[in-house]
Chain A
Amino acid sequence: MYAASMNEAPDRGSTPVQAPQADASALLLRVAEHRDKQALSALFTLFAPKLKSMMLRLGANEALADDLVQETMLTVWRKSHLYARRKGAASTWIYTIARNLRIDHVRRLSSRPYADVEAIEIESDAPSSQQIIETNETVSRVKAALAILPKEQMEILSLSYEHDLSQTEIAEKLGLPLGTVKSRMRLAYEKLRPVLGDLQ
């Protein structure tokens, strides 16, 4: 039942625009700076249902999805000091935690390349911080841009970001040549790129 959102109409319009972003960032900072359990509870309320839906979509059963949500939120608690240094959109940061967890457990890489890159980013003296402060707005803009993306491009993004399918797997699933999947992804990128923030 959760698989339907791929083709959902934009959630603007009839329902008021939700802006949990700024709040979520403030909550994360309270967790980081004050070890505030109430703030963590509020984040749990905001994100746990979405994270669980994502895990169920990937094929986890109820119990497993619950465990993965617990582990994601526990990692949020433990690593919030890293968020405090990088800032950025709370949903993006939580997304990367859930993604890395999924990669660690599902793909079983024999190394942790994402963690290595994160460490480099944190060490690097030129934090992309000015770009990062803007990202709360960026995520809202991306959401709006996703809502008007052509359906066949949104489908590719959804299968990639939400369903954890590689480009090859997407091509197999949709019965398309790999080159078509790549070019749709590239087109989606070109539509989203202007709203993603500064070009380097």
Chain B
Amino acid sequence: MTVAHHPQPETLMAYAAGTLDQAYTVVIATHLAMCGACRGEVAHLEDVGGAILEKEAEAKIGADALDRLLSALDGSPEEEPRPAPIKRHEGVPSPLAPYLKGGLESIEWKRKGPKAWLAELEVPANSHSRLVLLKVGAGAAMPEHGHGGHELTLILSGAYNDRFGRFAAGDLADHDDDVDHQPIAEEGEDCICLVALDAPLAFKSRLMRVLQPLTGL
């Protein structure tokens, strides 16, 4: 698969830093599953994280911390228990598989126009972003679907054209809301896209409050 359109560097950087919200993370991870070049790029950007960790200040470690670790090793399985693999369907990259357990065929599309359908994928309640699938009929224009903000659109099948060029499977459009464009699906095949967008009404959860359950380790 030849990918022509990639995420913006600052988006990949945010992915490497681990600060993208869920829907954006899933869209980028799905692009990475389809794009070796960006996987290499993310590996480089993770080196920035490694360098920053090396520069990090040092906090005092309790005298018993190392013993605690060593004694935990003995009871620890050699490998992390793996979650049961999720059954993957044709054309569904693994980062997307948990959201499409029945494959692309089983999606419950909601009609949004004469040749446009939308399906909302489930993200946790504390998410600030929405993950949706869009299907646009061959030859039709993409409907308005955002509320503004940062938008990532990954083509899963089919293709569309806009003033930025031709976007086919694996290509990703990384736009802010001030970008004006009108994608038109190509003739011959419906165009299915995975889209991450801001969900401005979602509640923000505070970091350490959700971390608390970990304290009992």
Contacts and interface: CB of A to CB of B under 8 A. Distances in A.
A162 B52 contact: yes
B55 A5 contact: yes
A56 interface: yes
A192 B45 CA distance: 9
A71 to B, nearest CB: 7
Contacts of B94: 116, 119-120
A193 B12 CA distance: 13
A67 B62 CA distance: 11
B26 A196 contact: no
B56 A77 contact: no
Nearest to A140: B51
B33 interface: yes
Contact of B51 (A5, A88, A146): A146
Contact of A142 (B29, B48, B80): B48
B182 interface: no
Given A54-B56, A64-B214, A65-B59, A164 B66 contact: no
Chain B interface mostly:
helix
Interface in A100-153: 100, 102-103, 105-114, 116-117, 119-121, 124, 126, 128, 131-132, 135, 138-140, 142-143, 146
A68 interface: yes
A120 B217 contact: no
Interface residues of B, number: 77
A135 B124 CA distance: 36
A43 to B, nearest CB: 10
Contact of B18 (A5, A51, A100): A100
A41 B208 contact: no
A31 B97 CA distance: 33
Interface string B46-60: 111111111111111
B61 A74 contact: no
Contacts of A110: 22, 98, 122-124
A68 to B, nearest CB: 7
Given A132-B43, A166-B21, A53 B51 contact: no
A138 B72 CA distance: 33
Contacts of B47: 88-89, 92, 135, 138-139, 142, 196-197
Interface residues of A, number: 106
Contacts of B215: 63-64, 67
Contacts of A61: 208
A84 B49 CA distance: 20
B68 interface: yes
B207 A106 contact: yes
A74 B69 contact: yes
Nearest to A100: B18
B112 interface: no
B22 A74 contact: no
B117 interface: no
A94 B29 contact: no
Contact of B65 (A48, A162, A189, A200): A48
Interface in A159-186: 160-162, 164-167, 169, 178-179, 182, 185-186
Interface of A: 2, 4-5, 8, 11, 18, 20-21, 37, 40-41, 44-45, 47-54, 56, 58-61, 63-71, 73-75, 77-79, 81, 88-96, 98-100, 102-103, 105-114, 116-117, 119-121, 124, 126, 128, 131-132, 135, 138-140, 142-143, 146, 157-158, 160-162, 164-167, 169, 178-179, 182, 185-186, 189-190, 192-193, 196-198, 200
25 contacts: A21-B54, A44-B66, A44-B69, A45-B66, A58-B207, A60-B211, A64-B215, A66-B61, A74-B69, A74-B76, A78-B80, A91-B53, A92-B50, A94-B53, A105-B210, A105-B214, A106-B210, A111-B98, A116-B97, A120-B39, A126-B36, A131-B43, A143-B54, A157-B48, A167-B14
